Amino acid sequence: MPADTYLSTILATHRARAAADDRSLDELLARAEAQPPTRPFLGALAAPAGEALAVIAEVKRRSPSKGVIAAGLDPAQVAADYAAGGAACLSVLTDEEFFGGSAADLAAARAACALPVLRKDFTVGDADVCDARLMGADAVLLIVAALSDAELLGLVTLAHELSLDALVEVHDEAELERALGAGAEMVGVNQRDLTTFAVDPGRAERLGGRIPPEVVAVAESGITGPDDARRLAGVGYQAVLVGESLVRAADRRAAVRDLTGQRIGARHAPRDAYRARG
């Protein structure tokens, strides 16, 4: 797939699937509301400056840009290894067509440990949020670039109504302001451009200072080892979400352990960021 069609192709597929979904939303909501309590995803990451960096360790089989990452991956074993290595939370890919994931992967990973779990997928509608709750997720990913302002606000609101935390993902200053405007309590800065899938290692540093101190800041993508984790912790990120380097590691427990323990630096949002929020 050409790089410039990654995001548009994936979103078109998910929106077409959502448009063809004839399930009753009222029934989905009722079932989602009846699920057992969630595990505290946001709470597992909300460490103040001076404490240790949290790791969200990802269960990921493949990607559109890299192809197969781990053939024959056992999500339960991977999750157990991550937990033993000191991960704070899990992220599990559930997109099947482009990433080889599934709801079954999420269920297996969550059952293998006590960690809160993020459903990592391309959420485009209310049914997706309900499905996240029904498959056992504790948090849902909302990608600002994939949603209108109205959709973003509605999905953040619905997630909270269903006791799901929302990781709101941004790629630039404008998207960050949209995320904050929608009431995001947890913002993920993705260093990977979702149009080209290229990694910009400076993106998280540029945006980190613009995230208000009361919002949990998560750095995503392009994190390959302790040096990256230390750099991101030093500019105030409370957590890093790491997938490929952990999945490929010969010793996943040790790889997670190597990322943890970095001390979180102070993070202060510039005054103009607050003025922009009104």
Helix (H, G, I), strand (E, B) or coil at 162: coil
The question of whether 60 is a catalytic residue gets the answer yes
> Of 63, 169, 175, 244, which one is the catalytic site residue?
169
Catalytic status, residue 33: no
| Catalytic one of 175, 205, 221, 244 | 221
Count Cα neighbours of 77 within 13 Å in the Cβ-side half-sphere.
7
Given 91, 190, 205, 244, the catalytic residue: 190
User: Burial level of 94, CB count in 10 A (0-12/13-18/19+)?
Assistant: buried
Active site residue 190: yes
Q: Among 91, 120, 175, 244, which one carries the catalytic annotation?
A: 120
How far, in Å, CA of 171 to CA of 176, rounded? 7
Contact 195, 166 (CB under 8 A): no
> What three-state secondary structure class fits 256?
helix
Catalytic residue among 175, 205, 220, 244: 220
CB atoms within 10 A of CB 79: 26
Q: Catalytic one among 58, 175, 205, 244?
A: 58
91 is catalytic: no
175 flagged as catalytic: no
Long-range CB contact pairs, 9-13, < 8 A, 24+: 10/64, 10/95, 10/98, 10/122, 11/122, 11/124, 11/146, 13/97, 13/98
Strands (E), 132-244: 139-143, 165-170, 186-190, 216-220, 239-242
- Residue numbers annotated as active site: 58, 60, 120, 169, 190, 220-221
